[in-house]
Structure 1
């Protein structure tokens, strides 16, 4: 393989165009997951502006790009998926029929190990490093919104009826309901991030927006718009005020559901669910094929989904002491987390503890202590 490694800013316009073309054509070649916006050049380049060590390996065949492998590299040669921790889809973006050797790729990239937590299915050379796999629910809208509603009437009739009734009640009791699919007001984005931070604290989770690089990444993606990619903010209004919002990256075929949140004062109207139905309707009208709800078992995803993909976590290693040390450090943490998530009795207990911690956090913030 002819493999050359670039910093994100060194990638030529021709290479970026080839990368986008591979993604755009992927669904027609039977690889719809390759069209995910987290695998786009725009996402990789934007991560490179807010995180050190971002690199892109370009594999050429006959002088032409055949595959692109975005990753992050530490000084010690530890590799991670680009944007690990916030990226919902990872892997090599490649032409149909392309094959590669995982260890040869790592060697060319100067990596002893490459860690992933949302590896898309079909990445056969990396599958030997998979330690666990998970469902990633999706909403298919390629056949139009009415076809999606027909699916919900058949699979989740009570959910659909209740959600639509709550939307009508919202309009009567709060004010006219309006939806903006592509809101360009930065103030609305700041409102969403404040809601999401409050939700993290309230539920005892780590606040992602307390990490400056994540805030910067979201803000930069919000202002990123090309023919094949955009950071898209969608907002649900009632009575002229925002009550729910979502921000996520979008490719030509896929909208990734990334940061949804709502104003908890309106929780009885299930504004987040109403928002997702509006997003599905507008995405279908825009010609998108699906909304990717992301890895994770949550009841609302089960109600909304039409199907699911599979993503995996793990690491690919070369024989190297740094790789062995990295795995020894990371494996117990992942094993414990997955054990909790896979056993309902453990997850419910952990969830109650986290929420109790969240209440303490919120009460301390209110009291100023």
Structure 2
């Protein structure tokens, strides 16, 4: 393999075009998940502006780009998937039938270890080092919203009927329900991030928006527009008041759901569910094949999904003390987290404790 490693600003326009072309054709080549916006050059470049150590390995065959591998690394050679912690899809974007040696790739990138937690399907050299695989629910809308809604009614008639009834009641109680699929007002984004921060604190979770680099990344992506990538802010209004919003990323065929939140004052109307149904309708009209709801077990995801795709977590390592040390530190934390999340008998008490901590934090 002919492998060159670049800083984000060094990537040529021709290479970016080739990268985008690989994603655009992915569904035709049997790898539709490679079209995920978290695997796009725009996402990597935005991370590169917000975080140091961002690099892109370009693998060439006969002088032409065959694969792109974005990653982050430390001076000590510890590598992580690009945007680890906020990225919901990771891996190597490649042409059909491309094969690679994972450790050879790491060596060329100056890495002793590469950590991932949302590895896309169809990457055997990386999957061989996975410690576990997990479902990532999706909403298929490639046959149109009417088909999706009809199948949702057949699968979950009570859920569908109740959600649509709540939307009608919301309109009667709070004013005309209005949906904007691609809201460009920065004030609406600020409202969303404030809601999301409050939700994190209320439920005892770590507030992602307390990290300046995540704020910077989201702001950058909100203003990013290219063909076919965009940051999309969707807002549900009751009258003139925003009551639910979502910020995600899209490519030609995939809308990656990322940061949803709503005004708790309207919780009884389930505005988040109404918002997701409106998003599905608008995405279908826009030619999107599916909405990726992201890894993580949530009741609303189970209600809305049509199927699951699988993502993996783990480490690719070379034989080196740095690799062994990094994995030794990280593996127990990941293992404990996964055990708690996968077992209701453990998750429910832990979730209650976190929420109680959140209540105390909010009152303080």
Q: Distance in 2 between matches of 1:288 and 1:46?
A: 23
Count, aligned residues: 364
State the Cα distance separating 1:227 from its structure 2 match.
1.3
Tell me if 1:176 matches 2:176: yes
**1:300-339 alignment, distance < 5 Å:** 300-339=300-339
Q: Write out per-residue CA displacement over residues 91-150 of structure 1, whole angstroms, 9 at most, x where no aligned residue.
A: 000000000000000000000000000001110001121001100000011100001011
Aligned-partner SS, 1:52:
coil
Structure 1 unmatched ranges of 5 or more = 365-369
Q: Distance in 2 between matches of 1:40 and 1:212?
A: 22
Structure 2 unmatched ranges of 5 or more = none
Q: Which moved more, 1:36-45 or 1:151-160?
A: 151-160
Aligned-partner SS, 1:358:
helix
Q: Write out per-residue CA displacement over residues 213-243 of structure 1, whole angstroms, 9 at most, x where no aligned residue.
A: 0000000000000011001000000011000
Q: Distance in 2 between matches of 1:157 and 1:216?
A: 41
Tell me if 1:95 matches 2:95: yes
Q: Distance in 2 between matches of 1:249 and 1:118?
A: 16
State the Cα distance separating 1:77 from its structure 2 match.
0.2
Aligned to 2:237: 237
Aligned to 1:65: 65
Q: Distance in 2 between matches of 1:130 and 1:249?
A: 26
State the Cα distance separating 1:206 from its structure 2 match.
0.1
Question: Considering only aligned residues, what root-mean-square deviation do their CA atoms show, in Å?
Answer: 0.4
Q: Write out per-residue CA displacement over residues 12-62 of structure 1, whole angstroms, 9 at most, x where no aligned residue.
A: 000000000000000111111000000000000000000000000000001
Aligned to 1:36: 36
Aligned-partner SS, 1:258:
strand
Q: Distance in 1 between matches of 2:115 and 2:358?
A: 30
TM-score (norm 1): 0.98
Aligned to 1:221: 221
Aligned to 1:341: 341
Aligned-partner SS, 2:143:
coil
State the Cα distance separating 1:294 from its structure 2 match.
0.2
State the Cα distance separating 1:191 from its structure 2 match.
0.1
Q: Distance in 1 between matches of 2:242 and 2:281?
A: 19
**1:192-211 alignment, distance < 5 Å:** 192-211=192-211
State the Cα distance separating 1:342 from its structure 2 match.
1.2
**1:1-369 alignment, distance < 5 Å:** 1-364=1-364
Aligned-partner SS, 2:128:
helix
- Runs of 4+ residues over 6 Å off in structure 1: none
State the Cα distance separating 1:151 from its structure 2 match.
1.0
Q: Distance in 1 between matches of 2:111 and 2:151?
A: 45
